C-alpha cells in the first residue's frame, strides 16, 4: 500500500511527504541536462526554488531546493586564505625578501590572493544549488557556464552523511551519493545545514520512488 500526497511545487514550504516504505531496486538511466536556457536571477531566499522550476520536466515535483551554507565560501578558499595570510605576516614581521621583492609587494600579493580567491569562492557559492524532486537529485553549479548534473532516484545505490572537523564546528554536513550511472565524485551535497533532516527527505523520496515503480 502506498500513500501518495500531491505536493505543490510553487510553495517552498510544501516539502513534507508521508510514505510507507517498500523499496525495490530498479536502475534507471542517468541524464546530464544542458543548461543553456537556464537564466540566473538575482540571489534571494526563493532563488533555489526559482532555478528548480526552470529545469524540471513536465509532471515533476520539486520536493527540496537549497544552497550550501555560506561557510562554503570560507572552506572553498581556505588554502588560499592561509597562503595569502602567510605572505601578509611575512611582510609585517619579517625582513625576508624573494628575488629582491620588497616586503610591501609581498603584502600586496598576499592581500590580492585572499581577495581574489574569496571572491571566486563567493561566486561559486552563488551559482551552486542542490535540488530534490520526486524523480531525481540534481546539482547545479557554474559561474559563467551553468552545469546541471542529474541522477534518477532509482539509480542511487547508497547515500550517507559525512561530517568533517570543519563541518562539525559549524554544525554542517555533507551528503554522499553512490550510483552506477552517474560519477559521484563532484555530485555530493557539500556543507548542508540541518544535514540529518535533508538526508531523511532524500531517503524518503528514494523509497517512495521505488514503491511507486510498477512491478512486473
Q: Give the dihedral of Cα atoms 75, 206, 179, 53; nearest 10 deg.
A: -60
Q: What pLDDT is stored for residue 102 in this prediction? A: 81
Provide the 3-class DSSP secondary structure of residue 192.
strand
Model confidence at 38, pLDDT cuts 50, 70, 90, reads: very low
pLDDT tens-place string over residues 179-206 = 876 665 567 899 999 999 999 999 999 9
Instruction: Round the CA-based radius of gyration of the chain to a whole number and report it.
Output: 21
CA dist 101 to 62, 94, 96, 116, 144, Å? 55, 13, 9, 21, 35
Provide the 3-class DSSP secondary structure of residue 173.
strand
Q: Which residue has the cell 562554503?
A: 72
DSSP-derived pairing of the beta strands 147-152 and 136-141: antiparallel
Among 2-11, 75-84, 129-138, 164-173, name the one with the lowest average pLDDT. 2-11
Whole-number average pLDDT of the chain = 75
Residue of higher predicted confidence among 204 and 46: 204
Q: What pLDDT is stored for residue 62 in this prediction? A: 87
pLDDT tens-place string over residues 111-131 = 999 999 999 999 999 989 999
- Upper half-sphere CA count for residue 84 (Cβ side, 13 Å): 16
Model confidence at 83, pLDDT cuts 50, 70, 90, reads: very high
Q: Give the dihedral of Cα atoms 209, 140, 63, 74; nearest 10 deg.
A: 120
Amino acid at each position: 500500500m502506498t500513500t501518495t500526497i500531491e505536493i505543490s511545487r510553487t510553495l517552498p514550504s510544501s516539502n513534507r511527504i508521508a510514505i510507507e516504505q517498500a523499496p525495490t531496486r530498479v536502475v534507471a538511466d542517468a541524464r546530464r541536462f544542458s543548461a543553456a536556457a537556464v537564466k540566473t536571477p538575482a540571489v534571494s531566499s526563493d532563488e533555489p526554488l526559482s532555478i528548480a522550476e526552470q529545469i524540471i520536466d513536465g509532471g515533476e515535483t520539486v520536493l527540496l531546493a537549497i544552497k550550501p551554507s555560506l561557510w562554503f565560501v570560507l572552506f572553498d578558499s581556505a588554502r588560499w586564505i592561509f597562503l595569502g595570510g602567510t605572505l601578509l605576516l611575512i611582510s609585517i614581521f619579517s625582513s625576508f625578501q624573494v628575488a629582491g621583492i620588497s616586503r610591501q609587494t609581498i603584502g600586496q600579493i598576499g592581500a590580492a590572493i585572499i581577495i581574489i580567491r574569496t571572491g571566486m569562492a563567493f561566486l561559486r557559492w552563488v551559482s551552486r544549488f542542490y535540488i530534490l524532486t520526486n524523480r531525481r537529485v540534481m546539482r547545479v553549479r557554474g559561474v559563467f557556464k551553468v552545469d546541471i548534473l542529474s541522477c534518477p532516484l532509482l539509480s542511487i545505490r547508497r547515500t550517507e552523511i559525512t561530517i568533517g572537523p570543519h563541518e562539525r564546528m559549524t554544525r554542517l554536513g555533507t551528503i554522499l551519493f553512490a550510483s552506477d550511472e552517474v560519477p559521484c565524485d563532484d555530485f555530493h551535497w557539500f556543507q548542508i545545514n540541518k544535514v540529518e533532516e535533508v538526508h531523511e527527505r532524500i531517503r524518503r523520496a528514494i523509497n517512495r520512488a521505488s514503491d511507486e515503480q510498477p512491478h512486473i
